[in-house]
Amino acid sequence: MNAQPDLNALKTRQQTAWASGDYAVIGTTLQLVGEQLAEACDLRWDDKVLDVAAGNGNATLAAARRGCKVTSTDYVATLLERGADRARAEGLQVQFQTADAEALPFADASFDVVMSTFGVMFAPDHGKSASELARVCRPGGRIAMANWTPEGFIGQLFKTLGRHLPPPAGVQSPSLWGMESHLRSIFGDAAAGISVTPRHFNFRYRSAAHFIEVFRTWYGPVHKAFAALPEDKARALEADMTGLLNGLNRAGPGSLVLPSEYVEVLITRR
């Protein structure tokens, strides 16, 4: 019988990875996704909104800009501090609270809208995370997410990392959150309806080398992968990443523009 993965230990390692580097350097470039998601779920002034695994607050800011009463959560406190800095700079009133997506410290049906942009999809226990999102959302409320797909650039990037530093056996891929069939499975009867719309975000960098430099310095999973590999294997990872980046680049040799597919997910809470 195959041993079950230790999800708590994995979560601890993930938390350390996301706290390394500085995801905010990457996260701020994704602000457009938060704005589009806020419009897609048709936020209303005074809606009570929870942003889960908020990072440095892209969906948080988008909701607050639309007059919502926002609570922004993440299990990495330093990222919430970055989000708080951004909210203060705009004079936005937001509550920030350290919280685990798999054990949210809120009562049932506390929020009109629960949002997550490229956040909750990385929690190890998919079923528990989906259950918590549904639990804290009121009946008739909305759960709105932006999730990378397995086939898109970020999905391929994580597959590339996995070839050089394999994940623990039995752990579900975060990219499954980009598949409608998986979403229907994990949300089950809690969802009165699920809408999944393909979208693209363009990563824009100077070159493949520039992208790798930024991500290995600031993006936790890539930072930790390079740190864990000996020099020769790190060079092999860099070569594979360079091939992936150049293969998907639509800007020609003078720059780097990488379309990355994600899905915009809207779930109506039963």
Residues 6+ apart with CB under 8 A from 33: 58, 117, 118, 146, 199, 201, 262
Tell whether the model's pLDDT for residue 259 goes beyond 70. yes
Q: State the CATH architecture for 7-149+168-202+260-269.
A: 3-Layer(aba) Sandwich (3.40)
pLDDT-derived band at 3, boundaries 50, 70, 90: low
Local confidence band at 17 (pLDDT 50, 70, 90 cut-offs): confident
Residues 26 and 1 sit within 8 Å (Cβ to Cβ): no
pLDDT at 246: 98
**φ/ψ of residue 58, rounded to 5:** -65, -50
**% pLDDT > 70, the chain:** 99
> What are the respective helix, strand and coil percentages of the chain, to the nearest 5?
50, 25, 25
Distance CA 63, CA 10 (A): 31
What does the angle CA 52 – CA 263 – CA 259 come to, to the nearest 5 degrees?
115
Residue 21 CB-half CA count within 13 A:
25
For residue range 30-51, what is the model confidence (pLDDT) as tens digits? 999 999 999 999 999 999 999 9
CA torsion 37→39→43→44, rounded to 10°? 160
Q: 259 vs 167, which has greater pLDDT?
A: 259
Least confident range of 14-23, 194-203, 220-229:
14-23
E strands, the chain, are 48-51, 69-74, 94-98, 111-117, 137-148, 191-205, 256-269
pLDDT tens, residue by residue, 89-129: 999 999 999 999 999 999 999 999 999 999 999 999 999 99
State the distance between the two ends of the chain, measured CA to CA, in whole angstroms.
37
Q: Please write the tens of the pLDDT for every residue from 221-238.
A: 999 999 999 999 999 999
For residue 90, CA distances in Å to 97, 115, 143 come to: 19, 20, 26
Looking at residue 169, what is its pLDDT?
84
- Phi, psi for 150 (deg, rounded to 5): -65, -35
Determine the pLDDT at residue 1: 47
**Cβ(15)–Cβ(243) below 8 Å:** no
pLDDT interval class at 2 (50, 70, 90): low
pLDDT confidence band for 16 (50 / 70 / 90): confident
Q: What is the pLDDT of residues 161-192, one digit of tens each?
A: 999 999 888 889 999 999 999 999 999 999 99
Domain boundaries, the chain: 7-149+168-202+260-269
What's the chain's average pLDDT?
A: 95
The CA–CA distances, whole Å, from 163 to 69, 115, 159, 175, 251 equal 43, 31, 6, 15, 27
